[in-house]
Amino acid sequence: MDLLGAGFASVHRSAGMVLVVEETSMTDSRLERGRRRRIAILLLLAAFLVGCSSTTSPLPLTDTPQPVPSSSSVFAGHARAFRFADGAWVVAPEYDYDFLVFERRFADHWEAIKEIHRRHPKYDGRAGPRDQTLYFFVRMSPAPDGGHDLVAECSLGRGTGHEKAGGGGLVLELASSQKGWFVPFDTIRIRQERPAVEGRIQETVELLSKGKGREVPFMKMEEEGLIYLPVRP
């Protein structure tokens, strides 16, 4: 046996092992640094997004206290959703939602903040986030029938309508603020009724397209709820 050759081979193998170990260690170190860098970037991005969301609001901003309303009320209830298909309305329970509305009325206008919460596990997100806050600002002017003509600006769009005398019900028609090839409606029609049963409210929200002298319905939501009024001394 060539001891010199065996010794050289042994040293060569040992050196090779050292080189492999050192190279593997350097590679692992680079991977670890890269992983830490990516984590740091993700954390900074998350902090940036949280910061942005904490300074934005779906409501108009103001630095002055709100005036005292002539009346205020809260509506709360549940909405059932329907999709128009093959000439008929078909239930779409995954789009159902719970709602809560805070309405404040003044001499020449009223405003409302509406929260909706879609809690069905199969909701697909096509109508936006599960939890949404909508804002309505509606100007009123006297109408010949004793009711009010309405001009509305809200989260959903802008439009006009009419309210019956005594606040018995209203109709608003809005040009949708959502535009695009893949938005299957351009008009939102809101009909609100307050049945003879004390403390109840019914509202239908229709999504439809208008054009060439005809209407094409897409979806509707039928809301039913209770009205909560402040207790007066």
Q: What is the CA radius of gyration of the chain?
A: 31
The answer on 224 and 198 residing in a single domain is yes
Contact (CB, 8 A) for 163 and 169 = yes
The answer on 169 and 111 residing in a single domain is yes
Contact (CB, 8 A) for 171 and 160 = no
Cα–Cα dist 217/205, whole Å: 11
Which residues are within 8 A (CB) of 165 and not within 5 positions of it... i.e. 6 or more apart? 145, 146, 147
The answer on 143 and 95 residing in a single domain is yes
- The CATH number linked to 85 is 2.40.128.20
pLDDT for residue 181:
67
The answer on 92 and 44 residing in a single domain is no
Query: For residue 126, is it within any domain?
Result: yes
Closest CA to 191 of 163, 165, 216: 163
Written as six digits, the tokens of 140 are 């009123």
Domain coverage including residue 37:
1-56
The answer on 47 and 75 residing in a single domain is no
Q: Domain total for the chain?
A: 2
- Give the CB-side neighbour count of residue 6, counting CA atoms within 13 A: 3
Section 4-17 average pLDDT: 41
Residue with tokens 């100007």: 139
pLDDT for residue 7:
42
Cα–Cα dist 89/165, whole Å: 31
pLDDT tens digits, 166-208:
877 899 999 998 877 678 999 999 999 987 677 899 999 999 9
pLDDT tens digits, 17-68:
443 444 445 556 666 676 676 665 555 555 555 455 556 788 888 899 888 9
Query: For residue 233, is it within any domain?
Result: no
Buried-exposed string 48-64: b where 16+ CB fall within 10 A, e elsewhere: eeeeeeeeeeeeeeeee
